[in-house]
């Protein structure tokens, strides 16, 4: 099956939505100087092709009193992956789970009122999933 190749309009729409996913069809059309229906059809097509998966707000957790944003890096045995993902999805503290190559393959972003609370929560619960080789870092900034 041939891979989807976005054209320049698709790329401009994607770029705008990456900057601000709350933009409506009309706002995107105005910014691009295009017809609203053309933009709407393109966005629907990008969603149907799986190019645009979802629109997610960028939240300033600090303004909500959640002063600690951390990154927990670790490894996990294969049989523990699915149960651990269910655990992560069921806990609002966790915002993103990324799987990479390298020494520590799993990277979990967590937010909370206090970094020590996040660390203690992880130390208490992670052993249930046989998590090992854990490193805890505080995220200072996400400039891009």
Q: What is the CATH number of the domain that holds 93?
A: 3.30.70.920
- What pTM, to 2 d.p., does this model score? 0.77
In a domain? residue 113: yes
Cα–Cα dist 115/135, whole Å: 13
Q: Which helix (H) or strand (E) holds 104?
A: none
Q: Assess whether 78 and 129 both reside in one domain.
A: yes
Q: Assess whether 36 and 65 both reside in one domain.
A: no
Neighbouring C-beta atoms of residue 77, cutoff 10 Å: 11
Neighbouring C-beta atoms of residue 43, cutoff 10 Å: 18
In a domain? residue 88: yes
Neighbouring C-beta atoms of residue 125, cutoff 10 Å: 13
Query: Per-residue pLDDT for 108 more than 90?
Result: yes
pLDDT 10s digits, 40-90:
999 999 999 999 998 888 889 999 999 999 999 999 999 999 999 999 999
Please report the pLDDT score of residue 45 as a whole number: 95
Query: Per-residue pLDDT for 1 more than 80?
Result: no
Please report the pLDDT score of residue 141 as a whole number: 82
Query: Per-residue pLDDT for 25 more than 80?
Result: yes
Mean residue pLDDT of the chain comes to: 94
Q: Assess whether 82 and 120 both reside in one domain.
A: yes
The band of 102, judged by pLDDT with boundaries at 50, 70 and 90, is confident
Q: What one-character DSSP code corresponds to residue 71?
A: E
Cα–Cα dist 14/6, whole Å: 9
- Give the mean pLDDT of 91-119: 95
- What is the domain range of residue 94? 61-138
């Amino acid at each position: 099956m041939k891979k989807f190749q976005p054209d320049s309009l698709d790329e401009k729409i994607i770029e705008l939505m990456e900057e601000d996913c709350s933009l409506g069809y009309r706002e995107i059309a105005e910014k691009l100087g295009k017809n609203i229906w053309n933009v709407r059809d393109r966005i629907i097509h990008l969603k149907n092709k799986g190019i645009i998966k979802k629109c997610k707000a960028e939240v300033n957790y600090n303004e909500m009193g959640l002063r600690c944003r951390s990154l927990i890096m670790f490894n996990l045995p294969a049989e523990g992956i699915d149960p651990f993902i269910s655990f992560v999805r069921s806990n609002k503290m966790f915002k993103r789970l990324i799987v990479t190559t390298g020494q520590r393959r799993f990277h979990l972003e967590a937010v909370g009122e206090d970094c020590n609370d996040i660390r203690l929560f992880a130390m208490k619960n992670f052993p249930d999933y046989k998590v090992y080789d854990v490193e805890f870092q505080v995220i200072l900034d996400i400039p891009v």
